[in-house]
């Protein structure tokens, strides 16, 4: 014990001597283990609908084609009948309106070939972001569109005016000591990761409102995203949710995918893509520092986008839609089953994430 204490004392004195001598103390960069940064795969997703018995039926299903931040996507429809392509709330979608009387199994959805790359905001210091005041002055339309509450007919899912949320935001802003939008969004992310745990709620249907997630102290990807958006909007940072899929790859090379939600925040300036940066709220790592370095301003190649929020109640309602049907006659039975399957997964590139002592990062 005495030997360890003496070693720490000597090390501390050496650092002090270097600092007092005017020399710059250079700390080594943080380097993470290699992980996939470019992948290729095929995906099919949608609903299988089995119609049995007798009587007429009508099936409606709205499905979004996929996209990636960096990479290429080609896709086709699994069922090339009784559909139309439309645009709603910043998104292109395919809507099937299937009707009939026969016994039949339909596979409604999309098949796609994906090549995806990691996306990374290199600078964690926010030097190219603007202040909260500048967001309001330079981007008034975006600020208005993406800082409001969002609800359905009865529930406020995203609520930046909730008293408990505004109280937390005031404390975080005071402690942050900055009005830089990027750094404030990062501070709010740190608060979220420190105080709210990622936890699925099996058996509990639907998405929790932000206020309930705050009260419970835990939530799944949707819940954490809605709470983080509420926190950001409360301070005047435009924020929106993304819906899509997240791949999981096993050691044997097989891959599966699950429905997922994450966020984007708008910090203006020359940061991100047109001022928007991705934020993965459902990450689980060894520390908040690691959460920030690996998931704040990062969208890895395992994320596949289907829907981007536009800040409106209509957008929220649309994002919660699934497949619906109407059946006529007591002898008509309809069974529906969602599916999402990955085939032909291939890792094209694996790299190390390096975070420098200047708080910038890159892949090597």
pTM: 0.90
Please state, as a whole number, how many other Cβ atoms lie within 10 Å of the Cβ of residue 184: 26
Please say if the pLDDT value at position 12 is more than 60: no
What tens digit of pLDDT does each residue of 127-137 get? 999 999 999 99
Sequence-ordered list of residues with C-beta below 8 angstroms from that of 5, at least 6 positions apart, any chain = none
What tens digit of pLDDT does each residue of 82-96 get? 999 998 777 999 999
Within 179-325, residue ranges assigned H as helices are: 181-195, 210-216, 221-235, 288-295, 313-319
Q: How far is residue 137's CA from residue 297's CA, in Å, rounded to a whole number?
A: 24
Do the Cβ atoms of 36 and 347 come closer than 8 Å?
Answer: yes
Do the Cβ atoms of 217 and 195 come closer than 8 Å?
Answer: yes
Is 158 exposed, middle or buried, given 0-12, 13-18 or 19+ CB atoms closer than 10 A?
Answer: buried
Give pLDDT, residue 139. 98
Give pLDDT, residue 19. 45
What tens digit of pLDDT does each residue of 16-60 get? 444 455 555 556 899 999 999 999 999 999 999 999 999 999 999
Query: Could you tell me the sign of the dihedral formed by the alpha carbons of 217, 219, 221, 227, in that order?
Result: negative
């Amino acid at each position: 014990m005495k030997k360890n204490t003496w070693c720490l004392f000597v090390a501390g004195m050496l650092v002090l001597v270097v600092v007092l001598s005017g020399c710059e103390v250079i700390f080594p960069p943080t380097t993470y283990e290699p992980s996939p940064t470019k992948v290729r795969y095929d995906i099919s997703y949608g609903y299988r609908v089995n119609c049995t018995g007798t009587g007429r039926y009508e099936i409606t299903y709205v499905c979004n084609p996929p996209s990636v931040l960096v990479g290429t996507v080609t896709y086709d429809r699994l069922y090339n009948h009784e559909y139309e392509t439309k645009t709603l709330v910043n998104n292109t979608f395919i809507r099937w309106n299937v009707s009939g009387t026969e016994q039949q199994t339909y596979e409604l959805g999309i098949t796609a070939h994906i090549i995806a790359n990691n996306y990374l905001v290199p600078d964690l210091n926010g030097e190219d972001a603007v202040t909260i005041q500048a967001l309001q002055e330079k981007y008034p339309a975006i600020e208005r569109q993406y800082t409001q509450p969002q609800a359905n007919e009865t529930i406020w899912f995203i609520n930046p005016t909730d008293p408990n949320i505004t109280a937390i935001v005031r404390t975080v802003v005071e402690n942050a000591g900055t009005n830089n939008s990027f750094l404030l969004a990062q501070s709010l992310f740190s608060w979220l990761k420190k105080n709210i745990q990622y936890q699925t709620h099996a058996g509990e249907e639907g998405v929790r409102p932000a206020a309930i997630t705050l009260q419970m102290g835990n939530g799944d990807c949707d819940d954490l995203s809605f709470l983080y958006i509420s926190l950001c909007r409360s301070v005047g940072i435009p924020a929106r949710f993304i819906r899509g899929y997240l791949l999981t790859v096993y050691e044997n090379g097989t891959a599966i995918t699950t429905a997922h939600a994450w966020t984007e925040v708008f910090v203006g300036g020359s940061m991100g893509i047109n001022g928007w940066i991705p934020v993965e709220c459902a990450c689980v790592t060894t520390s908040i520092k690691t959460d920030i370095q690996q998931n704040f301003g990062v969208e890895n190649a395992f994320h596949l986008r289907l829907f981007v929020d536009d800040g409106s109640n209509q957008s929220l309602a649309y994002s919660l839609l699934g497949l619906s049907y109407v059946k006529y006659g007591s002898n008509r039975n309809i069974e529906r089953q969602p599916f999402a399957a990955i085939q032909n997964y291939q890792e094209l590139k694996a790299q190390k994430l390096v975070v420098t002592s200047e708080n910038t990062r890159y892949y090597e």
